[in-house]
Amino acid sequence: MKTDSIFYRLFQEFPNIFFELIGNSPETANLYQFSSVEVKQTAFRIDGVFLPIQDEEVPIYFVEVQFQPDTDIYLRLVSEISLYLRQNKRKNSWRGVVIYPSRDIDKGEKQDLWEFFHSQRISLIYLDELGEAASLPLGIATIKLVIEEEDTAISTARELINRIQQSVNLQLPQKQLLELIETILVYKFPKMSREEIEAMFGLSDLKQTRVYQEGRLEAKLEAVPKLLVLGLTVEQVAQALDLDVAQVQQVEQRTQSNE
């Protein structure tokens, strides 16, 4: 699994984490929907975009996760954004956010684009400079788990899982976050199976509880309308989410009746 796909999944499921990461109130996420966008007649695809909901007068956020050195990243990012704005004619202002594991990976040429950085039109985030995981909000601490060294990733993951389990009134987003931690661990320890990781961290016992199973089903059902909007058929959505076709059809009908 590519590292950036973990981040885009995280921002899709927990958009509030992104806004915490850039220093905004987590509630700002209520004004946005996260998606990827195509720029027509080019080879450009912008994988991470927070688009304002209902023409809210807030900026569009273009997100780039960069774990490999790339001298052209800023020229490419500004080019993609400019083409998107030209084609979509949105009235909103915009911001760019580039997320790096560490400062030494940032090799992008800035000499022709200093104005964007001085004005904070484009901001840079270096994950290893965010602080210790124990002192960070749960979502941001989970982001840091991606860059954790193997010899400390296990202990850090255990601390995160304990924080989740000890939370009062465990809510659905936290259950999704637990699954995301598991996915990150599978990515970091490719020689271990998912079952082995679940056993190591006691996740298998937690997943057998009725509350967890109900929460997981609810999360899948909430994802159905988003996948249908993207153009997937009912059968494709059912297969992707491991649901019955009838369950997907019920959500589709309920969504249509509410429009």
pLDDT score, position 173: 64
| CA–CA distance, 161 with 157 (Å, rounded to integer) | 6
| CA–CA distance, 171 with 13 (Å, rounded to integer) | 13
CA 4, 9, 10, 11 torsion: positive or negative?
Answer: positive
Taking residues 235-250, report their average pLDDT.
83
With bands split at pLDDT 50, 70 and 90, how would you rate the model's confidence at 211?
very low
| CA–CA distance, 171 with 191 (Å, rounded to integer) | 31
Residues 64 and 152 in one domain: yes
Give domain status of residue 253, yes or no. yes
pLDDT score, position 40: 66
| CA–CA distance, 97 with 18 (Å, rounded to integer) | 10
Residues 246 and 154 in one domain: no
Contact 10, 47 (CB under 8 A): no
Give domain status of residue 203, yes or no. no
Which of 192, 224, 246 corresponds to the end of one domain? Answer: 192
pLDDT score, position 209: 47
Residues 124 and 39 in one domain: yes
Count of structural domains within the chain: 2
- Give the domain extent around 252: 212-258
Residues 88 and 184 in one domain: yes
Residues 219 and 105 in one domain: no
Which of 163, 192, 221 corresponds to the end of one domain? Answer: 192
Residues 225 and 187 in one domain: no
Give domain status of residue 231, yes or no. yes
Lowest mean pLDDT of 35-39, 83-87, 136-140, name the range: 35-39
Which tokens hold the place of 226? 């988003």
Is the model more confident about 100 or about 174?
A: 100
Which tokens hold the place of 230? 């993207």
Is the model more confident about 254 or about 68?
A: 68
| CA–CA distance, 32 with 59 (Å, rounded to integer) | 10
pLDDT score, position 18: 93
Q: Whose structure tokens read 């850090």?
A: 156
Give domain status of residue 207, yes or no. no
Give domain status of residue 204, yes or no. no
| CA–CA distance, 212 with 210 (Å, rounded to integer) | 5
Residue 21 has pLDDT above 80, yes or no: yes
Residues 151 and 248 in one domain: no
pTM, to two decimals: 0.73
Give domain status of residue 201, yes or no. no
Query: What would the pLDDT profile of 188-197 be if each residue is shown by its tens digit?
Result: 888 887 778 7
Q: Give Cα 255 distance to the centre of its chain.
A: 24
Give domain status of residue 112, yes or no. yes
Residues 217 and 102 in one domain: no
Average pLDDT, whole number, for the chain?
83
Query: What would the pLDDT profile of 219-229 be if each residue is shown by its tens digit?
Result: 778 778 877 77
| CA–CA distance, 44 with 114 (Å, rounded to integer) | 23
Residues 122 and 24 in one domain: yes
Residues 141 and 218 in one domain: no
Which tokens hold the place of 231? 């153009």
Give domain status of residue 22, yes or no. yes
Is the model more confident about 145 or about 182?
A: 145
Residues 175 and 216 in one domain: no
Residues 184 and 107 in one domain: yes
Contact 86, 51 (CB under 8 A): no
pLDDT score, position 172: 47
